[in-house]
Structure 1
């Protein structure tokens, strides 16, 4: 092995926050001319066409992450990357086992994107994952949480010494985001003199609690004209559509599905709303701020409190509280925020900062 190659490991290229973070890190490292591999259990997902050309894509061809362990071990033996950066807990467990199976000297860093104590996954694996994490995570060269809340929660839940899990904020803002935010937006709701538009972005899952946002928006509509766009796809779509119909707000709510450029929507929105029950470090909240959009967020574990500096840069409300969320949404329409102030805060979560911190962990 002559080149100092860095590899990333993801389950798939689904359109979620962890995948977006990995792509941003890859783009940031490419600017430093680092040879890069993106290893995936399966290439499924809308982010496949966003993998940079200079990144070598390695598809292990298995639908389940745990079945990818032998193939990942074979990759580590053959390629011998200097570092492997794994994202999401089930993939992290697989990466640790693959490294041990390969007896590889590759430096392994595992990244936790969610607040473990708050996560309510219904998947069978979620019942035994914390035990595997407690046993296996100490075998990684470094454990990273994407916010201080995630890091301290992981220390606590897995019984680690405080400070075992390091915090590295996600790489969110780069030149590409700024360019995409300025892209033209043909959506008719953003025509001049139209009612203000609230925007939310995320998978349609119970974690994101878009039902709470829809109920809050129905309250907003009782006070003034407005519209709501939720970008994303997922299993709660039919339930959300039923809720919208029941509340009689079908004409004012749009669920267009996944969009590879949500930033143009953020740049034109009156307010961006995060309604989650739990998070790790919600990338979309930072992206909206970097686009100069006013933000409202639930004060969920973890991330919004840190991103918004306890309410300095945006309004925080309790989780699962539609009236409080509606009040905050109305407040942003009545009291415009300082866009430059929001953009400056978003820029703190830069790609350059994250890349340099990960390279330090790799001793690269």
Structure 2
């Protein structure tokens, strides 16, 4: 029996990292290589799994509780390679491989700008990660980061030679993206006969995404023209963001619509997508918006947007945390004629990305 390739990530539903790992698993399995999707937990219903993949639920209540189940999985299933994503899971993958005495080739993937991720020294978890992550990552067989800028930064933060951190873009532009985008939009603001343009933001309601700056920018836009702002996502900042919108007098035109497993019909119908993040790695949703032909405006945050947008050729880039510049860029995007042409984005296609990962995982010869 052929030994599988294992992908370790938090859960099979949710944000950009989860979608990327599911896409990567589908792409590897499509080449006839068995794939185990090893997840810390499954919150709610399990989505349809790609053919050739198996879901392994470690059923951990907290991330740290992944370790015993992961050790057991490595001993029993004996994957030939393990790719993990997320700093805490990456550290646990290193520990589990050693404890299981597994011969799996281990690749850890960095999906965020590490310097910003480690900046909050007051958080005990961040303090611990800053000390544990560099030592753990040096024990992996390879380290991958999702953009060139993120890879360069990671090598510096981890104190590793630059050639030890390889940049591989995410497999984002898939047939499933376009199939889902063709579905009906669930939100009434996005009706085909609408007369008011709708801006879309998407992501966890957390400081990293800086939706506060987006709402302040939207208030400036709204003072000059009719518009609405739809934000898809959940998180700890919901109440503060709602209070901010109400306080700026735009509460009726801002909907914090919550998390959805299928945001693509809404994304495809938005008049513009806005990324307001303070930091990223390679923002998946920005690539998805481009692929669907949606006008985009983004902060030039570390890291990823400048590479995706080719320094501003594919969409506007503005400084992070600058609501005035963001509002001006949104107004220009809304006023500019746009024919919804979908650009060619081969660098983000599974065909291009999967083979790069297989080479790093050491299984290309079997594909």
* TM-score category of the 2 structures, normalised to the smaller one: over 0.9
Which residue of structure 1 lines up, in the alignment, with residue 362 of structure 2?
Answer: 363
CA contact (8 A) 1:12 1:45 kept: no
Supply the distance in 1 between the matched residues of 2:318 and 2:339 (Cα, whole angstroms): 20
What does the per-residue CA deviation read over 1:43-89, in whole Å, with 9 as the maximum and x for residues that have no partner? 2367x324436422222222222332232122111111111110001
Q: Where in structure 1 are there 5+ consecutive unaligned residues?
A: none
Supply the distance in 1 between the matched residues of 2:189 and 2:63 (Cα, whole angstroms): 41
Which residue of structure 2 lines up, in the alignment, with residue 88 of structure 1?
Answer: 86
Alpha-carbon deviation of 1:4? 3.0
Which residue of structure 2 lines up, in the alignment, with residue 272 of structure 1?
Answer: 273
Alpha-carbon deviation of 1:241? 0.6
Supply the distance in 2 between the matched residues of 1:45 and 1:304 (Cα, whole angstroms): 32
Query: Once superposed, what is the RMSD of the aligned Cα atoms?
Result: 1.7
Report the number of matched residues.
360
TM-score (norm. length: structure 1): 0.95
Judging changes above 3 Å, is the alpha-carbon distance between structure 1 residues 190 and 327 closer, same or farther for their aligned structure 2 residues? same
Pairs within 5 Å for 1:147-296 = 147-191=147-191, 192-296=193-297
Q: Where in structure 2 are there 5+ consecutive unaligned residues?
A: none
CA contact (8 A) 1:16 1:202 kept: yes
Residue 164 of structure 2 aligns to a residue in which SS? coil
Which residue of structure 1 lines up, in the alignment, with residue 54 of structure 2?
Answer: 56
CA contact (8 A) 2:30 2:52 kept: no
What does the per-residue CA deviation read over 1:185-206, in whole Å, with 9 as the maximum and x for residues that have no partner? 2432223242111011101111
Residue 266 of structure 2 aligns to a residue in which SS? helix
Given candidates 86, 102, 105, the residue that maps to 1:104 is 102
Alpha-carbon deviation of 1:149? 1.3
Supply the distance in 1 between the matched residues of 2:44 and 2:135 (Cα, whole angstroms): 31
Query: Which moves more between the two structures, 253-262 or 232-241?
Result: 253-262
Query: Which moves more between the two structures, 7-16 or 17-26?
Result: 7-16
Residue 163 of structure 1 aligns to a residue in which SS? helix
Supply the distance in 2 between the matched residues of 1:93 and 1:27 (Cα, whole angstroms): 25
CA contact (8 A) 2:346 2:352 kept: no
Residue 115 of structure 2 aligns to a residue in which SS? coil
TM-score (norm. length: structure 2): 0.94
